[in-house]
Amino acid sequence: MRNIVAFPLLLLAVILQSSIVSQVKLLSGYADLPLLILSAWALQKPVKSVWHWTFVACAMLAFVSTMPWLVLVFGYAGMVFIAQALQKRVWQAPLLAMFSVTFFGTLFQHLISFIVLRLSGTPFVFTDVMGLITLPSLLLNMLLSIPVYAFMRDLARWVYPSEE
């Protein structure tokens, strides 16, 4: 039942993302707090509810963002899939796994966003998006990934106490 913490935590993450994180820009990019929380959660060994968390995060973000909900669902689900695949292979080096998931998850999310928005008629230039949005966002996500991972590891111990 402690998994219910997903609702207030993800709600807080979406609010922080919208009100604070989106204002801390590097060029035109900024960090993605819900993505970091989900990727860190997916990397915790005892966690079995990551898909539920992903669904909740996507629903909340779709409510706030103009981004098509399919982009959010595929982007975050893809990131979680990458995290789970990596968790089985590099579980002995969790920080390396977190960096890898953050790296590939951000790239995947931005690639899907770019493709869908481009197809819907928004005049994006690939090099501009890479240089001004994706790479700065990637850097900020990598910087934030360590504290987020530490926080989510402690949270996982609290949510799944008997399995530690």
Partner 1 sequence: MNSRSLQTTIVFLVIGGILALALGGFFGSASRQFSSVLVEFQTWASSRYRGIQDFVTAPRDIVSLRTRNVELESQVSQLQTQVIELQQRVNETEILAALVSFSRSNPESTYKAASVIGRDPSPFLHYIIINRGSNDDIRRGMPVVTNQGLVGRVDAVIADAARVQLITDPASAINIYLQNAETDAVLFGSVTGDVSLDMISQDASVEPGDLILTSGLGGGYPSDMIIGQVVTMRSLEFELFQQATVQPAVDFTRLEIVLVITNFRPVDITPLVP
Residue 1, Cβ neighbours under 10 Å: how many? 5
Q: Is the distance from CB of 156 to CB of 37 less than 8 angstroms?
A: no
Using a CB cutoff of 8 Å and minimum separation of 24, what contacts does 149-157 make?
149/40, 149/43, 149/94, 149/95, 149/98, 151/40, 152/37, 152/40, 152/41, 152/43, 152/44, 153/40, 153/44, 153/94, 155/5, 155/9, 155/41, 156/41, 156/44, 156/45, 156/46, 156/47
CB of 49 to partner 1, least distance (A): 22
Judged by CB under 8 A, does residue 92 bind partner 1? no
Stretch that binds partner 1, among 80-88, 94-102, 125-133, 142-150 (CB under 8 A): 125-133
Judged by CB under 8 A, does residue 121 bind partner 1? yes
Query: Based on CB atoms, which residue is closest to partner 1, 85 or 130?
Result: 130
Judged by CB under 8 A, does residue 29 bind partner 1? yes
Judged by CB under 8 A, does residue 103 bind partner 1? no
Query: Based on CB atoms, which residue is closest to partner 1, 44 or 134?
Result: 134
Task: Please select the residue that binds partner 1; options are 55, 59, 65, 99, rule is CB under 8 A.
Answer: 65
Q: Is the distance from CB of 116 to CB of 70 less than 8 angstroms?
A: yes
Query: Based on CB atoms, which residue is closest to partner 1, 16 or 96?
Result: 16
For partner 1, the binding residues (CB under 8 A) are 14-15, 17-19, 22-23, 25, 27-30, 32, 34, 61, 64-67, 110, 113-114, 117, 121-125, 128-129, 132-133, 137
